[in-house]
Amino acid sequence: MSVTGGNSSTGTVALGGYAPSGGITVSLASNNTSAATVPANVTVAAGASTATFTVSTSAVTASTPVTISASYAGVTKTALLTVTPPPAPGTPAGTYTLTVTGTSGNVSHATTFQMTVN
């Protein structure tokens, strides 16, 4: 999974069954907190099999892999998240006039056209 740096994503802890009475607390961690952070833990409510949490990311200049881990009762599971830089900006919307000129010997010519970018 990937997310553009500076945006948030949602993580999900999924159990193999249902949480007992009182629920369970699953410990979370990120191996690269400069790129992505997670809360220290998430609670799976009694009778539920999943819980969600927010993954907050920071701006990066290159694709950055982050391993998110979830631990409970001595068992740790991991998921890979790639934090990506924002896409390069495109040409702003508008109408542009382009003039192409050329010279061959003593002959010069020019062609003008308009281009609209939506």
The confidence band for 118, taking pLDDT boundaries of 50, 70 and 90, is confident
What pLDDT score was predicted for residue 7? 95
**φ and ψ of 20, to 5 deg:** -75, 175
Please answer whether residues 30 and 37 qualify as being in contact, where contact means their C-beta atoms are separated by less than 8 angstroms. Answer: yes
The radius of gyration of the chain from alpha carbons, rounded to an integer in Å, stands at 26
Cβ neighbours of residue 5 under 8 Å, at least 6 residues apart?
Answer: 35, 57, 58, 59, 60, 64, 83, 84, 85, 86
* Sign, CA torsion 42/44/49/51: negative
**35: nearest Cα among 73, 63, 10:** 63
Which pLDDT value is given to residue 28?
A: 98
What would the pLDDT profile of 73-114 be if each residue is shown by its tens digit?
A: 999 999 999 999 998 888 788 888 888 888 888 888 888 888
pLDDT tier at 36 (50, 70, 90 boundaries)? very high
- Please give the CATH topology (third level) of the domain spanning 2-84: Immunoglobulin-like (2.60.40)
Determine contact, residues 36/68, Cβ cutoff 8 Å.
yes
> What span, in angstroms and rounded, lies between the C-alpha atoms of 63 and 28?
22
Confidence of residue 39 (pLDDT cuts 50, 70, 90): very high
